[in-house]
Structures are given as C-alpha cells and as structure tokens.
Chains A and B, each alone.
Chain A
Amino acid sequence: MIPELLINILITTVPLMLIFATLFAFTTWLERKALARIQNRIGPNKVGIPCTRIGLFGLGQPAADGIKMIFKENIVPRGADRLFHLLAPILALIPAMLVLCFLPLDFPWVNEDSVKAYLLDGAVIFFFAITGLNTLAVFMAGWASRNKYSLLGGMRAVAQMVSYEIPLVLSAVIVVMMVGSLNAAEIAGVQMRENWFVFSPWGFAAFVIFFIAALAETNRSPFDLPEAESEIIAGYFTEYSGFKFALFFLGEYIAMFAISGLAVTLFLGGGDGPGVTLDQGLPTEAFPGLAVIWFLMKIFALIAMMIWLRGTLPRLRVDQLMGFAWKFMLPLSILNILVAGFAWHAERLGNTYITVTTWVISLAILYGAASGLNQLNRGKVRPREYKYAE
C-alpha cells in the first residue's frame, strides 16, 4: 500500500519539478536575450555545442551557468551564522517548489489514483500560506550573512513582501467570492464553463492588482529593491556564491512561475483555450496534454510581460513602493471587493439590461477610484524648481 502511494505521489511531483526546472533554465536565457534586444545588444550567443563554433543562439548558456555555479567556491563570511546561512537558500526554494502542486495541471500520465494536491479544498489558502514562508527565507539570508547590505536587503524585502501580500490576497478573494470555492481545479473549471474572470471590470482590476503585487512579491523589477544593485550591492544574497546563490536564483524563478500559474488559474481560465471543449460539464482536449500546454503558454505570456516590464521601468524609491501598496493598491482592492459583491448579486438577477448597467457602473467606479487615488497621492509633489539652471 505504502509503495503504491509513494509511486502515486512521485508520478505527479517529479515531472512537475523537472518541467519547471527546465523552464527555469530556458527562462533565464530568454530573459537575457530579450533584455539585450531591448537595450540594443544581442545577448548570449556564444555558448552552444562545445568544441565547435556553433552558437545555437546561446542556448547552452544556462548549462554553462549551472556548471560554473557548481564549481565555484562556497564562501561563508567570518562571523556569519553558518547553519542559517546554509538553510536560507533551501528554505527559499522549498516553498516555491511546494506551491507548484497547487496549480491545476492535468498531465496526461496522471490517473485516478494519483495524488492531486490542487483538488484540496483550500488550495488557494495553502498557496498563500506557503508562499509567505519565502519572506522568512529572505530575511534569514539577510540576517545570517552578517553584512550590512544583506541585512538592509532583508529588511526591505520583509517590509515589501508583507505589504504587497495584502493586495495580492484581497484581489484573489474576488475570484474566490465569485466561485464560492478555494479549490484550484474548481476555479479553473468555472472559467472554462462561463467566462474568464479577467474579462469583467472587477476581474480585470483584480488581475492588474494581482499582477503588480505578484511582481513585488517575487522581487521583480520595478520592485526589486531588496536586491537593488546600484544601492545595496545584491541585497540579501550579497554574501552568497556558488550553488547557494544558484538555489536562490532557482527559487526566485520558480516563485515567478508559481505566482504566474496562480494568476492563470484565478483570472486567465486555467487550461482553457482553443481545442479544449466541454463535454457534459467536463473538459475534453483535442489531444491529451493540450490543456497543460495552454496553461504553460499562459504562464509564459505573463513571464514575458514581467521581462518586458523589467526592461522598461526604473526601480521605485522605498517610500514610493510603500505608498503605492498602502495608499493605492489596498484601498482599490477593498473597493473592488465591494464592487464585485454588488455585481455578483446583480448578475444573479439574470437580466441582461441590469448586467450591462452593472458592468458600465462598476467600470466607471473602478476607473474613477483609481484616478482619484492617483490624484490624491500625486498632490504633494510639486514641479521641481531650478535654482541655478535656466
């Protein structure tokens, strides 16, 4: 019995780890290429097949990076807390890996007996609970390094991640309200049957808030203050080298995948797409695994968006970052919950006229509130006065 259970667990977890680790390698290459093109460079193009001059567009770069990381010296600063210095990167990776199992990915090799964590009632809650551990890992790294830059980075990370967790969860609450379930598969299924949540005023607003908060949660640009190179060297992983650094890096990207996956589940219809149809209320695919492909492609679309934003936006100041979370995102997401609540009741009436009116009104309210909050927060900034320059 127990070996069977073990096999059933491994069938679902091992492919997940392998797929996302491979995607991580590919994403680092993609990110470097895209950023290079944005900045009028070519990007990695040398590392291809060893001992030849075949570049393969630098696709060998992730492998080369990995080999370099493994063979680098593991340096622990004198006076650092060796145990926590070692534990921090592991703790950064584990929650990110763990939450991947809450994404409703129906792999073709998964059968009735396989353990499916996403069918858990409360998968979304679990997702947020476990992702919250990441903050601890980051602060642990900052604290254990015995380096002022690391500590500063850790402090910044804690402040930022705790602040942005609130709008993140509050925008996810809207979807949970609409579906009436915390089950990830149920949430994706409802969108397959009805409409993607992103295609409604409150859903779109929630998606935008969720995406921005997700950027901050994963310490991505323009919210990459914890690892701001120009200010505090590398932030909380200043004192990390070799494979420990690689683990941090891996954890960061896996967290990106996980949170994008959650965004796809909550707002972008999960595995829904052309070729995936409903047959008597159950999803049927044109060929096995199509829904998974759609899901991964949507994740990649979000990752591409993150890379694009990283290439575009400069880093925020600390006060701007905090102000944005507490003065803009939080009120807006609370208002959005109210709007969504009223809209849910209005849509229950089943009257097309009322539904359309609700859409228009909620769109106006949300846009008005966003502009109003923007104006309110903008008020204190005066145009710069030049004393000496013309």
Chain B
Amino acid sequence: MSILGGGIFKGMAVTLRNFVGSYINKKERLPTNDYSWRADGALPQGIGDYPKEKGEQLSDTTTVTEYSRNFPMLLHDGGEPMDTVRCVACQICERECPPQCIYIEKDYDENGKYIKRPAVFDIDVSVCMSCQICVEVCPFDAIVMNSQFELSTPDRFGGLLVRRDDLLKSNDYYHQIHPEEAAARDQKMAVEKAAKEAKKKAAAEKAKAAAEKKAAEAAKEEAE
C-alpha cells in the first residue's frame, strides 16, 4: 500500500529538482537559454535575452538551438526553387493539419495535365500551432520546420498568410539550421531511394524471369 498523498510528494520532488537544478545545471534544466553548444562558445549578452533594439541580431540562425522549431517551410533541392521542389501537392498535410491552416492547389500545365507541384501553398501563421504534424505525415520529406521565429507583421490579414514562394527554402539552408536532423533525413531518403530502386530492380528481374519461363513453356508446348 502506498503512502497517502504519496503522488503529491512525488510531483513536488520533480518540481523541486527542476527548481534547484535550474541554478546548478543550466545546460540540462534551462535548455532554451543555453548557448554553450555554439562553436565560438560566446554567450549573447545576458543569457537568454531577447534584443531590445532591432539591429542587435539574435534571430539569425546561429543563435537558436538544433531542435528549435517554429513554423513549416517547403524544401527544394537547389537551383530554381519550383523546378526542384519536393512537394507534389498530394494534400496529405492539408488534410492532417489539426487547425487546418494549410491551403494547397495543384498545378496543371496548359493541357490540363497535373504536374507534380503546388500552384498555391499557403500557411496561416495566426492559425498554425507549430505541432509539426505536417512534417510527420509528409511522404516526400518536402515540408520541415523552420526555426525562424520573428514572424510578426503590421499587416493583420495578408501579412500573416505565408505564400508558397516565401515558404520555399533550399536543402542547404535546412542543413545550415538543423544539421543533425537534415543529415538524418537525407540518409533516410537515400536508404528509401535505394530500397525503391532495389525493389524496382527485383520487380524487373521477376518480370524478366516470368517472361523467360513463359517463353520456355511456350517452347515446351511447341515441342509437344
């Protein structure tokens, strides 16, 4: 039998550990205010301070931690963004988005044929809750989280709707802001690609074998 009210003491021990730990072990208990991972080891003036004046530059990509995430972006593989964009406008993320802040329209060429890219891809900043579900469900690794957090705008309507062209970011930029995550994703994509090719190859071989078998059977029949 457990002690009466034991759960409360357990919870209080957890919060106490957090409280005391935040003074002793800053790296573990105040993760968002820790800058020791920076290559130059320099702390911005006043740990965790947000700049008071604009020019102070804290929102550049080097001052946020690896796994910080705020708002989605669309990846392309370099060059002309719309030529190498990974998104095929399958609209899975649009359907899965809990607050329904994504709006996608498919792109068609002049003959009315569907070309695999989005004509419109809008995300509403005011509705997005940074849940990352769009990233989880995307089968093409086309949408990932950006760590850009200064998204405020004086325009309440148009300014809060981020358009396709503003969402497009290169894979190099992704590597720059989230190196570990990007490398893992690239590796995963390579493995998937290899598996797909192997499968394709196997299928081709199987088809070939089947054809040979069929030919052999046909030859056998002919012989009979």
Which residues of A approach B to under 8 Å, CB–CB? Answer: 34, 37-42, 45-46, 53, 55, 308-309, 311-313, 367, 370-371, 374
Q: Which of B27-49 contact A (CB under 8 A)?
A: 29-33, 46, 48-49
A37 to B20 alpha-carbon distance, docked (Å):
8
Cβ-defined contact, B48 with A42, below 8 A: yes
- Shortest CB-to-CB span from B17 to chain A, Å, is 10
A370 to B4 alpha-carbon distance, docked (Å):
8
Chain B 200-223 interface mask (CB, 8 Å, partner A; 1/0): 000000000000000000000000
Cβ-defined contact, B11 with A313, below 8 A: yes
A370 to B11 alpha-carbon distance, docked (Å):
20
Which residues of B approach A to under 8 Å, CB–CB? Answer: 1, 4, 8, 11-12, 14-16, 18-19, 22-23, 29-33, 46, 48-49, 52
B18 CB contact (under 8 Å) in A38, A53, A367, A371: A38
A-B contact pairs, 28 of them (CB 8 A): A34-B19, A37-B22, A37-B23, A38-B15, A38-B19, A39-B18, A40-B18, A40-B22, A40-B31, A40-B32, A41-B30, A41-B32, A42-B33, A42-B48, A45-B46, A46-B49, A53-B46, A308-B12, A308-B16, A309-B12, A311-B15, A312-B12, A313-B8, A313-B11, A367-B4, A371-B1, A371-B4, A374-B4
Q: Which residue of A lies closest to B14 (CB)?
A: A312
Instruction: List chain A residues, Cβ under 8 A from B33.
Output: 42
Instruction: List chain A residues, Cβ under 8 A from B49.
Output: 45-46
Instruction: List chain B residues, Cβ under 8 A from A46.
Output: 49
Once A42-B33, A371-B4, A374-B4 are accepted as A-B contacts, the answer to whether A312 and B11 lie under 8 Å apart by CB is: yes
Cβ-defined contact, A42 with B19, below 8 A: no
A40 CB contact (under 8 Å) in B1, B12, B29, B46: B29
Q: Which residue of B lies closest to A373 (CB)?
A: B4
Instruction: List chain A residues, Cβ under 8 A from B12.
Output: 308-309, 312
Once A34-B19, A37-B22, A55-B46 are accepted as A-B contacts, the answer to whether A42 and B30 lie under 8 Å apart by CB is: yes
A312 to B16 alpha-carbon distance, docked (Å):
9
A42 to B18 alpha-carbon distance, docked (Å):
12
Indicate the member of B12, B15, B49 with the most A CB atoms within 10 Å: B15
- Ranked 7 nearest A-B pairs via Cβ: A37-B22, A312-B15, A312-B11, A38-B15, A37-B19, A311-B15, A312-B12
A370 to B1 alpha-carbon distance, docked (Å):
13
Instruction: List chain A residues, Cβ under 8 A from B46.
Output: 45, 53, 55
A309 to B49 alpha-carbon distance, docked (Å):
28
Q: Which residue of B lies closest to A311 (CB)?
A: B15
A46 to B19 alpha-carbon distance, docked (Å):
20
Instruction: List chain B residues, Cβ under 8 A from A308.
Output: 12, 15-16
Instruction: List chain A residues, Cβ under 8 A from B31.
Output: 40
- Shortest CB-to-CB span from B53 to chain A, Å, is 11
Indicate the member of B8, B12, B19 with the most A CB atoms within 10 Å: B19
- Shortest CB-to-CB span from B129 to chain A, Å, is 15
A164 to B208 alpha-carbon distance, docked (Å):
82
Instruction: List chain A residues, Cβ under 8 A from B4.
Output: 367, 370-371, 374
Instruction: List chain A residues, Cβ under 8 A from B30.
Output: 40-42
A313 to B15 alpha-carbon distance, docked (Å):
10
A42 to B50 alpha-carbon distance, docked (Å):
12
A371 to B5 alpha-carbon distance, docked (Å):
9
Indicate the member of A40, A55, A308, A309 with the most B CB atoms within 10 Å: A40
Cβ-defined contact, B19 with A312, below 8 A: no
A371 to B6 alpha-carbon distance, docked (Å):
12
- Shortest CB-to-CB span from B106 to chain A, Å, is 33
Q: Which residue of A lies closest to B10 (CB)?
A: A312
A282 to B163 alpha-carbon distance, docked (Å):
79
A312 to B33 alpha-carbon distance, docked (Å):
22
Q: Which residue of A lies closest to B20 (CB)?
A: A37
A308 to B22 alpha-carbon distance, docked (Å):
15
Indicate the member of A55, A312, A367, A371 with the most B CB atoms within 10 Å: A312
Instruction: List chain B residues, Cβ under 8 A from A40.
Output: 18, 22, 29-32
Cβ-defined contact, A37 with B18, below 8 A: yes
A243 to B1 alpha-carbon distance, docked (Å):
51
Instruction: List chain A residues, Cβ under 8 A from B19.
Output: 34, 37-38, 311
Q: Which residue of A lies closest to B29 (CB)?
A: A40
Instruction: List chain B residues, Cβ under 8 A from A45.
Output: 46, 48-49
Q: Which residue of B lies closest to A43 (CB)?
A: B22
Indicate the member of B11, B22, B29, B30 with the most A CB atoms within 10 Å: B22
